[in-house]
Each structure stands twice: as structure tokens, then as C-alpha cells.
């Protein structure tokens, strides 16, 4: 198994270093190799996603990304973020899975990742007006909704489709397709929420949700709300999956320029993303479960500063590796 590491910018390299340690400790046979992306790549090659990086990603079994997008790149035609968008689109990883767990909260946001306003036509008119368009084809909506239904079926059987169908044509299509597809999933309970109501309900009663399925921009915003409710951005992980081909695994957080380079970032989100890589990318669910458990044990005793502690990024990573080396309670019981 081969995994490409894309450390990127800001705290990306710091958290990916710890995530790579955890990956090798959890699954010693996996090979890793790092490639440039984002601002770092733009400065070196003039491209946010160099061709060698994309080729390595296509040839890999999974891709682990840190974060992209800090620094001043106003001197180039592209942004560091373009590297991430191009990669998402090139790998066609349309289903972005963002799980959130904390106490009573156990919800999964399934965000469409390669369509909508992020990828629609944009431009400027002679009068200075600028525009970003939101477009969705029925097949783009269907493949994402199908993921949502399947994931809901594998969890608690409840799917909330979030849209703005009282205003937007794309949302009306979204709702129609969801209702049509529900006939094939009689075991899944489907409901619909307008995105503004969904934002409020998430804050008021996050434990009421199981799986939320939604378009790109709504999913971006709702997942930050969910992260705020469930431990913060330091712990929120994600998996972006297509149909076959390597998946892209990355923390939900960005480059955090305010703390970059100080060795204090929380690598939990990146390490949790490694567990998702093991589960969804490499087909190693036992190793994924072991890493998740080791991470939970480390979190119980070692805290980075965002969690009110004093541990450095590397100390936290070391604690996860140490926890991985401890035999599980179940294994001790068997012995």
C-alpha cells in the first residue's frame, strides 16, 4: 500500500509529520512519500498542484493532506487553495465525509465536494459586477445522495437532506432527487431541512442528527458549526471519496497561520484522518479501530493548548504512538 503525504502550508507539515508517525505505527507495511502542494508548491514551481504531485496521488492507494493556503501569493495568477480544488476535482472525490462525535453528539456530514458554487462559472462584467454560479447536474446530485443513503443505512438509519428549496433551483432539484431515491431505501428515514433551520437545529439539538447530506457550500459552513460543537477544529477529520481511485483524507481545519511553526498545533484531526484513511482508503478496518482507540486514550491524558493543555504537537503524536503499542484491554482479556 502506498500513501502520498501532502503536508502543504502553515501547520500542515507539523500535523502531517505526526499523522505519518501514527500511520506507520498503526500499519507498518504502508509506504509513504511526500509531495508538494499549495503555497509551498506555488513558490517552488509556479503551480499549486504540480503535475508530479498529481501523478503520485493518482498512483497511490490514498492521499493524506495537511492544509493549504497561507502566505501572500498575490504575485501569482493562482492561489494555494487552487491546488486543493484541482486535486479534489482531478481525483473526483465527490463525497466528503465529516464525522463529529462528542458526548451525545454522533453525526456525520456528507458534503458534495466537486460541484456547486466552488466549481461553477465565475467572472466579471464590464460594469464591475462579479459572479459565482451554482450548478448541479442530476447525476452529480444522485451519486452524492446515494452515498448519504448508504451511510445512513450503515449507521442509525436517519438521513437529513439540507437545502434551500424555497429559493434555489439547485436545491429544488436536490430535494426532488432525494425524494425519488428514498423509494429505494425504505429502511432509511429521510427528512429535509432548509439550511438556515439546519444551522439553528445543529446548535440547539446536535444529538438529534444522524447523517446530513448537502451541497458543497452548505456543507462547508455546517461542518464548521458541527466542529465547534464537538471539540473544535483541532479534532475534526474528513475523508473525501470517489468511485474507486484513491481517496483524499484531510483535517477540516486550515493552515492556522497564527500558530504555524511553533509546534503547538493539535494533530488529532490529522491523526483521526489517518484512521479514516485506514478504514475507507486502504480497507484496513481493524487497524483503523486500533488507531481510533489509541487516539482516544492519548486524548484522555495528553492535551495540546487548544484543549487546555501544554503538550506540543510532537508530544501528542508520541503519546498516540505509545498508546498504539499498549495491548488493548480486549487482547489482555484473551491472554
User: Phi and psi dihedrals of 107, rounded to 5?
Assistant: -130, 155
Single residue of 27, 97, 252, 324 touching ligand IPM by CB under 6 A: 252
- Nearest distance from C-beta of residue 220 to Mg ion, angstroms: 4
First-to-final CA distance of the chain? 31
Active-site residue, 187 included: no
CB of 115 to ligand IPM, least distance (A): 12
By CB under 6 A, tell whether 254 contacts ligand IPM.
yes
Q: Could you say whether residue 281 binds ligand IPM (CB under 6 A)?
A: no
Residues in 215-274 that interact with Mg ion by CB under 5 A: 220
Q: Which of 9, 163, 220, 306 is catalytic?
A: 220
Reference 57, options 25, 81, 33, 38; nearest CA is 33
Least CB distance from residue 277 to ligand IPM, whole Å?
16
Q: Which does 211 bind (CB under 5 to 8 A by kind): Mg ion, ligand IPM, none?
A: none
Span from 140-148, 212-220, 295-303, 315-323 in contact with Mg ion (CB under 5 A): 212-220
x/- track of binding to ligand IPM for residues 50-89 (CB under 6 A) = -------------------x-----------x--------
236 within 8 A of 253, measured Cβ to Cβ = yes
Give residue for cell 483541532. Answer: 234
Q: Which residue is nearest to ligand IPM (CB)?
A: 220
Q: Active-site residue 164, yes or no? A: yes
From 196, 208, 243, 296, active-site residue: 196
Long-range own/partner contacts, residues 115-119 (CB < 8 A, 24 or more apart): 115/140, 115/215, 115/216, 116/170, 116/215, 116/216, 116/217, 117/216, 117/217, 118/85, 118/216, 118/217, 119/85, 119/89, 119/216
Of the candidates 176, 183, 193, the residue with the CA atom closest to the CA atom of residue 149: 183
- Min dist. Cβ of residue 215 to ligand IPM (A): 12
Q: Which does 148 bind (CB under 5 to 8 A by kind): Mg ion, ligand IPM, none?
A: none
What backbone phi and psi angles, to 5 degrees, belong to 325? -75, -20
Among 220, 279, 287, 306, binds ligand IPM (CB under 6 A): 220
Nearer to ligand IPM, 231 or 254 (CB): 254
* Residue 81 binds Mg ion (CB under 5 A): no
Look at the chain and count its residues. 335
The x, y and z cell numbers of residue 136, run together, are: 448541479
The three cell numbers of residue 159 are 438521513
82 makes contact with Mg ion (CB under 5 A): no
Continuous segment of H or E residues that includes residue 323: helix 313-325
Catalytic sites, residue numbers: 118, 164, 196, 220, 224
Site residues, ligand IPM (CB under 6 A): 69, 81, 220, 252, 254
Amino acid at each position: 500500500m502506498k500513501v502520498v503525504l501532502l503536508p502543504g502550508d502553515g501547520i500542515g507539515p507539523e500535523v502531517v509529520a505526526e499523522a505519518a508517525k501514527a500511520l506507520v505505527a498503526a500499519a507498518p507495511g504502508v509506504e509513504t512519500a511526500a509531495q508538494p502542494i499549495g503555497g509551498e508548491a506555488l513558490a517552488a514551481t509556479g503551480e499549486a498542484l504540480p503535475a508530479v504531485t498529481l501523478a503520485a496521488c493518482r498512483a497511490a492507494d490514498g492521499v493524506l493532506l495537511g492544509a493549504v493556503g497561507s502566505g501572500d501569493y498575490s504575485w501569482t495568477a493562482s492561489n494555494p487553495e487552487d491546488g486543493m480544488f484541482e486535486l479534489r476535482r482531478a481525483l473526483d472525490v465527490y463525497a466528503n465525509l465529516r464525522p463529529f462525535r462528542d458526548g451525545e453528539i454522533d453525526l456525520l456530514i456528507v458534503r458534495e465536494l466537486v460541484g456547486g458554487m466552488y466549481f461553477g462559472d465565475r467572472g466579471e462584467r464590464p460594469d464591475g459586477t462579479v459572479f459565482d454560479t451554482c450548478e448541479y447536474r442530476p447525476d452529480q446530485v444522485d451519486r452524492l445522495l446515494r452515498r448519504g443513503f448508504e451511510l445512513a443505512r450503515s449507521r442509525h438509519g436517519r438521513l437529513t437532506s439540507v437545502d434551500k428549496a424555497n429559493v434555489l433551483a439547485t436545491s429544488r432539484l436536490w430535494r426532488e432527487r432525494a425524494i425519488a431515491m428514498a423509494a429505494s431505501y425504505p429502511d432509511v428515514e429521510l427528512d429535509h431541512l432548509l439550511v438556515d433551520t439546519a444551522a439553528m437545529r445543529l446548535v440547539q439539538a446536535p444529538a438529534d442528527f444522524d447523517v446530513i447530506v448537502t451541497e458543497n457550500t452548505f456543507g462547508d459552513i455546517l461542518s464548521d458549526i458541527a466542529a465547534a460543537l464537538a471539540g473544535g477544529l483541532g479534532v475534526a477529520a474528513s475523508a473525501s471519496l470517489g468511485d474507486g481511485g484513491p481517496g483524499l483524507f484531510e483535517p477540516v481545519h486550515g493552515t492556522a497561520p497564527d500558530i504555524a511553526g511553533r509546534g503547538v498545533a493539535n494533530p488529532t484531526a490529522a491523526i483521526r484522518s489517518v484512521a479514516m484513511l485506514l478504514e475507507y482508503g486502504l480497507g484496513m478496518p481493524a487497524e483503523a479501530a486500533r488507531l481510533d482507540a489509541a487516539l482516544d486514550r492519548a486524548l484522555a491524558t495528553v492535551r495540546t493548548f487548544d484543549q487546555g493543555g501544554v503538550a506540543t504537537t510532537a508530544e501528542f503524536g508520541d503519546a498516540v504512538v505509545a498508546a498504539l503499542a499498549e495491548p488493548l484491554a480486549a487482547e489482555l482479556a484473551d491472554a
